[in-house]
Structure formats: C-alpha cells, structure tokens
Amino acid sequence: AACSSKYVLSQIHPMWQQPIAVPGGHCQSPIDIVVRKSVFDSALKPLATDYDPETCQQIWNNGYSFLVEYDDSADKSTLKGGPLQDQFRLCQFHFHWGESNAWGSEHTVDRRLFPAELHLVHWNSDKYSLFEEAVSGDNGLAVIGVFLKVGKRHEGLQKLVDALPAIRHKGSVVEFTRFDPACLLPSNTEDYWTYHGSLTTPPLTESVTWIVMKQHIEVSHDQLAVFRSLLFTSAEEEVQKSMVNNFRVQQPLCGRTVRSSFT
C-alpha cells in the first residue's frame, strides 16, 4: 500500500467535522491494532525523547481539541530512536476523548477502547525546515500515541488541567510555560507498536510514522471531567457544544503491517 502524503479530499461530517470517507487514502489513521497480527522487529530501538520544558509556549483551544504548543524553531525538544532514522522536533501535543469513560481513544488494541489518547506531534527536522512542509511530505511526521486510563490522579497533568478553564472556548489562548511533556509518557518507552498512517483530522495527510505505546498512563476521573468542560464553540456562538467525542473512527488497514518492539 503506497502511502502517499498528498492532500486528500474528504467528506466532512457536520457532527465533529468528522472526515468519514477518504477517497484515495490507503494509509489512514487511526486503526485497530490486532496484537496477534503485529510483527516483532528486533531492530526497533527504545524511544529517545529529549524535551526542553523551556520551549513550552502556550495552550489553546482550536475547536477540535486543546493543544500545548512548543517553540520548534530549533532542535531543542527532539525525538529520535524507536522506528525513526531521522531527528524529529516536538511541535505540539493534544488529546482525544469521549463523553464517557467507555470510549474516547482513536487507536484501539484488539478493539479495546480507552477513555482518551494523548498525541505528541513531531516533524522531521533533518528533511524539512517547517512543520507545514513536513505535514504533506514523505516521512514528514512522527506522532507518539499514549492511552489514558481512569485511575489515580496524574500529578504532572494537573498543571495542564488547571489551565483549561481559561481556554473553554474555541480560539482562546493562554501562555503556558515550563511544562515537560516527558511526564506524560509511560515509564516503559521500550514497548510500542509502529505503522505508517495519517493525521486523524484534516488535512489527513499520510505522512505519519505512528508510535503507539503499549503501556498506558493513569489520570483521575475528575481530571478527565475537566477535558469535557471545554467547548467546541467560540464565545460568540449562541449554542455551546461541549468538546467530547473528538476522535476519528477507525480506518481500514489496507494490507499495512503493524510492527511491535516487543514479543
């Protein structure tokens, strides 16, 4: 399945701008990871993240999710190793979640749904000079996916949760500094699945090396409830819609192989 990275036209579903069908896309994301069909690859290395909290700049509501954005004008917060040959720069992270704890993740593992999923978005700074170029370029992006489960309170996440009421509406931005995203990674960063896919929201370009961590992180019910207090809508809109179920439906594998770094 040749994974092109050209822009693909997609039908936009009124509900959540949910692209439901993507003609011409054979490497779309997210997918269901069928564990027994994944192929162990001993050449896969542990992830090597090197994030500088000083590059953290702002947190904002873009009407799909909330994003924490990093200064990616230099190689200061980087990702290497894993399945990657090149060096990638962190540009942002965000989440996807459900209206209930029963669903919300984009990827699934043997059809198992998680209440939420974290995406750490990086672009290939060996090949490209801007995120916008890498978005539609081959081997342009690397996204780390981390599943969230409801359990004990995540102390590192709380600083981010406390900032959310200030960005309730679409388009709101507040300064957000000195946040180390490494605190959101699971303790085990050796075990992951990896496959070639796409962005899960427009432009849906097939430029992503996905790295989905096997180990989840835990957050409390109350922390996740604050995610759901965000709104899809801007302050001016008369009907306010709560920001929930901002995940894309699973896409066909189209013959792709999912590799695992563990047996």
Q: Please list the helix, strand and coil fractions of the chain in percent, rounded to the nearest 5, in that order.
A: 15, 30, 55
Specify the residue, 81 or 203, whose C-beta has the smaller distance to ligand 5RD.
203
| Least distance CB 224 / ligand 5RD (angstroms) | 18
Q: Which residue has the tokens 């209930």?
A: 100
Q: How many residues make contact with Zn ion (CB under 5 A)?
A: 1
Q: Is 107 near Zn ion (CB under 5 A)?
A: no
Q: Is 28 near ligand 5RD (CB under 6 A)?
A: no
At CA 186, angle to CA 182 and CA 192, rounded to 5? 110
Q: Of 190-209, which residues contact ligand 5RD (CB under 6 A)?
A: 199-201, 203
| Least distance CB 91 / Zn ion (angstroms) | 12
The DSSP call for residue 29 is S
Distance separating alpha carbons of residues 170 and 100, to the nearest angstrom: 21
Q: Of 113-132, which residues contact ligand 5RD (CB under 6 A)?
A: 119, 121, 132
Distance separating alpha carbons of residues 229 and 59, to the nearest angstrom: 15
Element (H, E) at 208: strand 208-213
Q: Is 228 near Zn ion (CB under 5 A)?
A: no
Residue among 134, 53, 74, 94 nearest 243 (CA): 94
User: Would you give the binding string for Zn ion spanning residues 111-130, x where CB under 5 A is met?
Assistant: --------x-----------
Give residues with Cβ within 8 angstroms of 15, minimum separation 6: none
Specify the residue, 182 or 220, whose C-beta has the smaller distance to ligand 5RD.
182
Specify the residue, 33 or 199, whose C-beta has the smaller distance to ligand 5RD.
199
What residues make contact with ligand 5RD under the rule CB under 6 A?
Answer: 119, 121, 132, 135, 143, 199-201, 203
What residues make contact with Zn ion under the rule CB under 5 A?
Answer: 119
